[in-house]
Amino acid sequence: MNNRIGRRALGAALLLPLFRPAPGRAQAWPNRPVRLFVGFTAGSSTDVTARLFAQRYAELWGQPVVVENIPGNGGALGVERLSKQPPDGYSLMWAANGALTIVPSLQPVGFDPLKDLAPIAIMLAMPSVFLVPEASPFRGMQDVIAAARARPGELSYGTPGVGTPQHIATEMLCRSAGVTMEHIPYRGANLVDVLSGVLNFGVQNAGAAMPMVREGRLRCIGVSTLERSANLKDWPTVAEQGFPGFEAISWFGPMAPAGTPEQVIARVNADSNRILAEPATRERLAVLGLDAVGGTPEAMRATMIRDIPKWASVIREANIRAN
């Protein structure tokens, strides 16, 4: 009897490896919580959109997706943290373009945006808007440029900080028009000083400006998209006002550390595009002044390859330096 039991146990032990999953396939990803880094504070546009997607990721993946805010250096601190994580799919980032394509040209960073990160997809685009008080004599971008030519260096404009997409966009406009203006950096929105006339105009992300424009307190004289934004169809672009090719947008999307398995990248990409296509998501984005983009890892990488030298040139020519 004991021998039979022993033989059965030995047989079971010999068969056991046959029923074990192959290495790397023990459990499908994800089988534990996923961290989603955000390089900005809670309540910022990056944070709000990250949490919108994180909630749906958690529902689709059956695991908690924990948003972890790591603010600092224009979002670059969070990107650096991501680049040092194990490439196992359990550390992702809701990345903003400034940290990837602008900050590395402003100051030293502890990562290479093209070597240390795995793009997944650009999900959202956020235009910048040029704003004046409703009583301003500036009716469009040509009025601003004409005034800047007549009074070199005297016009002032405000943006949410040095080296932000809004700052770089305005300096790019100045370079193309051959004018100089005084930049006044703010911590966050500058709309109060635009309203009061302390600034000649302000440049802000569309979501922050939409309420005051729709209330008639501010007037949008230019949008930074190449073509009219789907959510801002009544607001003219800078490009259509005599500056063809002008485009300067903020964009957001998921990224992973370089070396993350391709099947994880493909899963996050597919689910991100699925979330973006949902009517509830589209409605929420419209309220925030964001345009849906969607796409592939290859398209995200191509955009980075295009934008890094583009913004580096503006930074160099305008002699922009980080604070």
pLDDT tens profile 237-277: 999 999 999 999 999 999 999 999 999 999 999 999 999 99
Domains of the chain, first to last: 34-125+249-318 (3.40.190.150), 126-241 (3.40.190.10)
Judge contact between 59 and 72, C-beta under 8 A.
no
Maximum alpha-carbon separation in the chain: 106
- For residue 318, which phi and psi values (nearest 5 degrees)? -90, -5
List the one residue out of 177, 134, 185, 128 whose CA is nearest residue 152.
Answer: 177
Choose among 219, 13, 63, 200: nearest CA to 134.
Answer: 219
CB 153 within 8 A of CB 176: no
Return d(Cα 54, Cα 280) in angstroms, integer.
14
In whole angstroms, what is the distance from residue 83 CA to residue 90 CA?
13
Burial class of residue 250, CB neighbours in 10 A (0-12, 13-18, 19+): buried
Condensed to tens digits (0 to 9), the pLDDT of residues 125-138 reads 999 999 999 999 99
Integer Cα distance of 224 and 227 in angstroms: 9
pLDDT in tens, the chain (323 residues): 444 434 443 444 344 443 344 444 446 999 999 999 999 999 888 999 999 999 999 999 999 999 999 999 989 999 999 999 999 999 999 999 999 999 999 999 999 999 999 999 999 999 999 999 999 999 999 999 999 999 999 999 999 889 999 999 999 999 999 999 999 998 766 788 898 889 999 999 888 888 889 899 999 999 999 999 888 888 999 999 999 999 999 999 999 999 999 999 999 999 999 999 999 999 999 888 899 999 999 999 999 999 999 999 999 999 998 76
